[in-house]
A and B are shown apart, each in its own frame.
Chain A
Amino acid sequence: MILVYVEPIPDLNDLAISKSQGRVFERGKRVMGPATEAAIASAVRLGGEQLGLIVGTDDDTGIARRGLALGLNRVILVAHAEAREFDGLVRARIAARMIRETGARLVLIESGLAEVAFRISEATGLRVGSLSSGLEPAILRVGESSTRPRIPSAIDIVHAAKKEIVRRSADSLGLPADDLIPRRVVRATRLVQP
């Protein structure tokens, strides 16, 4: 079974800027990046059962459906209200827990998420390689150009609606509450002057 790690990212086309507060707000829901879509396409090409793991909020159901439409058999959405504040430390802890729970021996993650990949490796003992190096047990980093992600067809989308999204709360994974708190503080934000 192949697990694809999916990290919701801000939709850069749907941001609001508050000059008075000196910060950016995300207006819409988060989305799946093209590199993660390539990772899913790679997983589908490798064959077998493909499971998606999303660490996000309840609003990320759309991302789960997108993953299913792109070919994942099942998606686990580990939700937490503060998930947008999670950093690599927290995400890796959750991912490692789910990898152990599902017994996944091959994990695909987009190559841009190097920190998370290595953290998961440290937490699970799985080695890190690239897609071409491939064999399990491993975490394989997938570049955006590795496999051209396809646009899901209308039938894929309709079938995705019938596939399973398993919802878990991050609080219910058995991790200490403290493990879900990033070890960093955002002290201030400011806008970049164009």
Chain B
Amino acid sequence: MSDWLDLYALEAEPRPGGVAIYLSAGDLSRGLVRLGRHFGDALGAYVFAIGPRSKEAAGWGADRVVEGGSLRSFVEKFAPEIVLFDASDGSIEQAARLGQQLGRSLLGPAFEAAVDPSTRLVVAKIRTYGGRQIEEVTAGEWRPQLIVMERESLPPAQEDTGRRVESIRI
């Protein structure tokens, strides 16, 4: 908890929670970073990039790049509200393992996700019954919200080189 406060000591005002983006070793999901950036801006929260390719998120929208440690240790330390994954095999593995460790459901694979700033809830839209029905799902009261996104449904990446990016080591 104290590390979290120390980190925020850099800012004039503390930012609650955070949006974490898991970037697996496969194709870099810059669109996922972009989506995370949208969520972070909507919530006034930091955007953390974590995973084997986290460093590459610098310049694409992340505020903090996390190095070292496990996903679980990051979540326990920084208590993000949202963790975003894409639906690649490597990411689903991490999402599933984290979900099992924390006792959380995965929302997805979603073709669309949006965050409501007033409730800070992500609403994920999932196709069911062979595509005949769409379900809107949320994580309810449970945190963190673990969202898995279909890769082809991610927004286009956008360079964000003017942002100050900090590196965090766990």
Contacts and interface: CB of A to CB of B under 8 A. Distances in A.
A119 B100 contact: yes
Contacts of B127: 192
B156 interface: no
Interface residues of B, number: 30
A152 interface: no
Interface string B82-123: 000000010011011101110111110000000000000001
B96 A88 contact: yes
B151 to A, nearest CB: 14
Given A185-B137, A185-B138, A192-B132, A115 B95 contact: yes
Classify chain A's interface size.
20 to 34
Contacts of B130: 12
B134 A10 contact: no
Contacts of A155: none
Contacts, number: 94
A134 interface: no
Interface of B: 89, 92-93, 95-97, 99-101, 103-107, 123, 127-140, 142
Interface of A: 10, 12, 15, 17, 23-24, 87-89, 92, 114-119, 121-123, 128, 179, 182-192
15 contacts: A24-B129, A88-B96, A88-B105, A92-B100, A118-B100, A122-B97, A182-B105, A183-B104, A183-B105, A183-B139, A184-B138, A184-B140, A187-B136, A190-B136, A191-B133
